[in-house]
Amino acid sequence: MNIHEFLASPPEASKRTGPHDRIVLSSRVRLARNLRGMSFPGWAKKPERIKALETVRPAVESLEQMSEAFSESMDNLTALDKQILVERHLISREHAAKNAGSGLVLNREESLCVMINEEDHLRMQSLRPGLQIKEAWQAIDQIDSLVEKKLDYAFSPTLGYLTACPTNLGTGIRVSAMLHLPALVISEQINQIIQAVNKLGLAVRGLYGEGTEALGNVFQVSNQMTLGELETDIVERLNKVLAQLIEHEENGRASLLENKPKVVFNQIGRAYGILANAHSISSKETMNLLSLFRLGIDLGLFPGTARSLVDELFLITQPAHLQRNYSEKLSADERDLLRSDMLRERLRSVSRPHTVPATPTSSKLDKPTE
């Protein structure tokens, strides 16, 4: 199977489960690294970028962890392939715009992904379902040590790892988690929470990172500082904040269910009703309604329906994932029709919400470990 076939087949990663995946969709750690003595990708002329790519790529390919990986030059990927990679959060939008001189090494589990010549020569990422930032850190730390044996990293004894943008200088680490926080949004606590998290030196962003909207009540929380702190301390600090956010969201859900059950049932019921019966629906509306449907599953309103159904739909209703099923280029209007067809079909077997929850919420049972 080549990468085109891989990206055209149903995504498996969305079906994997992890700790606290009621609220934490995924964890990620990425490291920014550069080659000593070579211009950063944004400054390098094309021959120099190609030279960097040709240096980095075999070093990454030769890792045992990448033995079955896809290794691609970005110009070998179609626009659709790239868009699918973005929708799966495997590459950045910026990297999707790259062509010859940039590359990608991705393992089949989609748990390791290295972007070559994105903003830095290397952006190495480890991804895990649920709350597993420690595990993600350990995995990428191991990769980094192995790569460092093969490549001469740009490193300053005083500053640490050198990076194209000073915001990554030092450790080059960005630890992040995707959180599903519908209760904090519905109860209008989210802005206050975001401010509090910001004061702890962490950034809160939308679904596709910096400057994007929080579609589907999904928020990305990550460290801001990369300098003057140990990687393990950064991981530890984020872990603590995430544990608190999980608790806030769980408390928010319990409180909504106790104090405003009708508001919750109304939003979830309408979301389900529209998802199961619309004949045209945009990607944005879909995400926002799927978020409420996911909350309904978490609250026990859809007994027998697995959370993974929503997580898969969240992915496969996005534009490029929809397009990959069709040979002709679809317009946005056509996608809206096909998206609604897919949703109606997949929700056909899901019964109307049991608005007296079948089971109590697991908020008390499902506390994060620290």
Rank residues 64 and 328 by Cβ distance to its own copies and give the closer one: 328
Query: Do 177 and 27 form a contact (C-beta atoms < 8 A)?
Result: yes
Least Cβ distance, residue 180 to its own copies (angstroms)? 21
Rounded CA-CA distance 54/102 in Å is: 10
Rank residues 277 and 359 by Cβ distance to its own copies and give the closer one: 277
Looking only at residues 158 through 217 of this chain, which bind its own copies when binding is defined by CB under 8 A?
A: none
Rank residues 152 and 345 by Cβ distance to its own copies and give the closer one: 345
Rank residues 51 and 344 by Cβ distance to its own copies and give the closer one: 344
Looking only at residues 21 through 80 of this chain, which bind its own copies when binding is defined by CB under 8 A?
A: none
Rank residues 329 and 348 by Cβ distance to its own copies and give the closer one: 348
Q: How many CB atoms lie within 10 A of CB 53?
A: 20
Least Cβ distance, residue 321 to its own copies (angstroms)? 21
**355 contacts its own copies (rule: CB under 8 A):** yes
Rank residues 270 and 367 by Cβ distance to its own copies and give the closer one: 270
Rank residues 59 and 299 by Cβ distance to its own copies and give the closer one: 299
SS (H, E, C) the chain: CCHHHHHHCCCCHHHCCCCCCCCEEEEEEEEEECECCCCCCCCCCHHHHHHHHHHHHHHHHCCHHHCCCEEEEHHHCCHHHHHHHHHCCCCCHHHHCCCCCCEEEECCCCCEEEEECCCCCEEEEEEEECCCHHHHHHHHHHHHHHHHHHCCECEECCCEECCCCHHHCECCEEEEEEEECHHHHHCCCHHHHHHHHHHCCEEEEECCECCCCCHHHEEEEEECCCCCCCHHHHHHHHHHHHHHHHHHHHHHHHHHHHHCHHHHHHHHHHHHHHHCCCCCCCHHHHHHHHHHHHHHHHCCCCCCCCHHHHHHHHHHCCHHHHHCCCCCCCCHHHHHHHHHHHHHHHCCCCCCCCCCCCCCCHHHCCCCCC
Least Cβ distance, residue 14 to its own copies (angstroms)? 25
Looking only at residues 279 through 308 of this chain, which bind its own copies when binding is defined by CB under 8 A?
A: 279-280
Which stretch in 60-68, 183-191, 337-345, 356-364 sits in contact with its own copies by CB under 8 A?
337-345
Given CA atoms 40, 96, 3, 180 in this order, what sign does their dihedral have?
positive
Rank residues 199 and 348 by Cβ distance to its own copies and give the closer one: 348
Least Cβ distance, residue 169 to its own copies (angstroms)? 51
- Residues in contact with its own copies, counted by CB under 8 A, come to a total of 22
Rank residues 15 and 346 by Cβ distance to its own copies and give the closer one: 346
Least Cβ distance, residue 358 to its own copies (angstroms)? 17
Among 34, 92, 340, 363, interactor with its own copies by CB under 8 A: 340
Least Cβ distance, residue 113 to its own copies (angstroms)? 38
Which stretch in 15-23, 36-44, 149-157, 345-353 sits in contact with its own copies by CB under 8 A?
345-353
Q: How many CB atoms lie within 10 A of CB 158?
A: 4
Looking only at residues 242 through 281 of this chain, which bind its own copies when binding is defined by CB under 8 A?
A: 262-263, 265-266, 269-270, 272-280
- Residue found by looking up tokens 């401010």 in the block: 195
Least Cβ distance, residue 277 to its own copies (angstroms)? 4
Least Cβ distance, residue 279 to its own copies (angstroms)? 4
Q: Site residues (CB under 8 A) for its own copies?
A: 262-263, 265-266, 269-270, 272-280, 337, 340, 344, 348, 352-353, 355
